[in-house]
Amino acid sequence: MAGACRLFGTLEKISTSNIRKFSLPAASLLPQRQYNTEATPFGKHTKTKIVNNEVCVITLDTPGAKVNSLSKEVMEELAQVVESVQRNPSVKAGVLISGKPGCFIAGADIGMLEQCKTYDEVLTISREGQRILRRVEESSKPIVAAIMGSCLGGGLEVALACHYRVAVKDRKTALGLPEVMLGLLPGGGGTQRLPRLTGIPSALDLELTGKTVKADKARKLKIVDQLVDPLGPGLGRPDERTMEYLEEVAVQSAQALANGSLKVERKKGLMDQIMSTAFKIDFIKDMVFKKAKDQVLRLTGGLYPAPLKILEVIRVGVDKGIEAGYDAESKGFAELAMTPQSKGLMGLFRGQTECKKNRFGVPKTEIKTVAVLGAGNLVREEPLYQITSSSPNRNVMQ
């Protein structure tokens, strides 16, 4: 994984643009009210509560896990809770927040993909994820994503499907689409929503490299709409107080969106307008995508299919529209999941994760002193391997 990061970390950004900030009401100017209900379990992974008699706060908190990830069960439950918000006439808006201060959603559950044996199984997962997130996006009631901690892969795709995004401005909050590091592409609409939100050059930079950005950078890229400063220690831990404050701001924003006092106008600056106009010209569009492809081939030697497929899928969405883009995305996701490169990278990721765990358990006695005996190299009289002429293949190590 680290090698892949270094490999793509040098990819040049296709172009830069000055993105003009748009002004939104400060949290202090939004309506202030009191909470009136306690959260109750909606399912295994989510809790809900009604705030101010009109905002449903959906808390995602998978029990027994350090981070939230998107499994089939989590996605189905998310779809159900969104439908319940739609059916409840007293609810005017929703807020999606994590119950884990260090993590919004870390991404999709890799185990879910590892269990897939066929192209069709992976294709179904991608299309179902797209369907659920499009339901979120098309909700008649605004849904606000309240982001604190890692918001990666499928987690960012969930946030992109929401109508408004509030994020904590601290070092732990990071947003990105790192699927390329696993030999994959974003399969929940990320290849189509991100370019339309932040522009094609910035989307290519993020998706081809798998890099993450902090909340303030995400605001400049229009991925985040509003920033929240973290709080210091008080009656509770700083992370707990910050999470409570984030929820309050998100609820206020949801109310304002619902009653029309807050309107999201992601106005394009001059450079954005120039870039949008330029990408309507086939010659310029061809030149940008060709440059990106040349850079990928130079860095990978054509041995790494994921970034090439990302370029292809984004281009389909740009040329043929979002419906064709979604179709190409799900098919590309399924194709890549079946490649040996993706299987190898997922296996490497799984191995790194397992190595971080303590498989020996808690020691029976407390260790107070540690000594290391020896610091030299192990010397063997026999070579570690030899090439034998008796082998059918003279280059086989034995």
Task: Give the confidence band of 394 by pLDDT, cuts at 50, 70, 90.
Answer: very low
312 is catalytic: no
Query: Around 233, how many Cα atoms within 13 Å sit in the side-chain half-sphere?
Result: 0
Greatest mean pLDDT among 212-221, 230-239, 343-352 lies in 212-221
Instruction: List the one residue out of 286, 197, 198, 157 whose CA is nearest residue 16.
Output: 198
Q: What is the arithmetic mean of pLDDT over 80-97? A: 95
Going along the chain, which residue ranges are E strands? 40-41, 46-51, 55-60, 93-98, 103-105, 143-147, 150-152, 164-168, 174-176, 212-214, 226-228
178 vs 281: CA distance, rounded Å: 30
What pLDDT is attached to residue 41?
A: 86
| 17 occurs within a structural domain | no
What pLDDT is attached to residue 376?
A: 64
- pLDDT exceeds 50 at position 8: no
CATH number at residue 270: 3.90.226.10
Name the average pLDDT for the chain.
85
Containing structural domain, residue 120: 24-357
| 389 occurs within a structural domain | no
What pLDDT is attached to residue 37?
A: 62
240 is catalytic: no
Instruction: List the one residue out of 348, 344, 349, 315 whose CA is nearest residue 332.
Output: 315
| 4 occurs within a structural domain | no
Instruction: Pick 3 or 374 by higher pLDDT.
Output: 374
| 192 occurs within a structural domain | yes
pLDDT digits (tens, 9 = 90+) for 92-126: 999 999 999 999 999 999 999 999 999 999 999 99
Q: How many structural domains compose the chain?
A: 1
The catalytic residue among 12, 54, 76, 179 is 179
What pLDDT is attached to residue 244?
A: 94
Q: How many CB atoms lie within 10 A of CB 18?
A: 9
The catalytic residue among 54, 157, 207, 329 is 157
| 381 occurs within a structural domain | no
| 222 occurs within a structural domain | yes
* DSSP 8-state symbol, 171: T
CB 280 within 8 A of CB 192: no
| 368 occurs within a structural domain | no
136 vs 130: CA distance, rounded Å: 10
| 41 occurs within a structural domain | yes
Instruction: Pick 254 or 18 by higher pLDDT.
Output: 254
What pLDDT is attached to residue 378?
A: 56
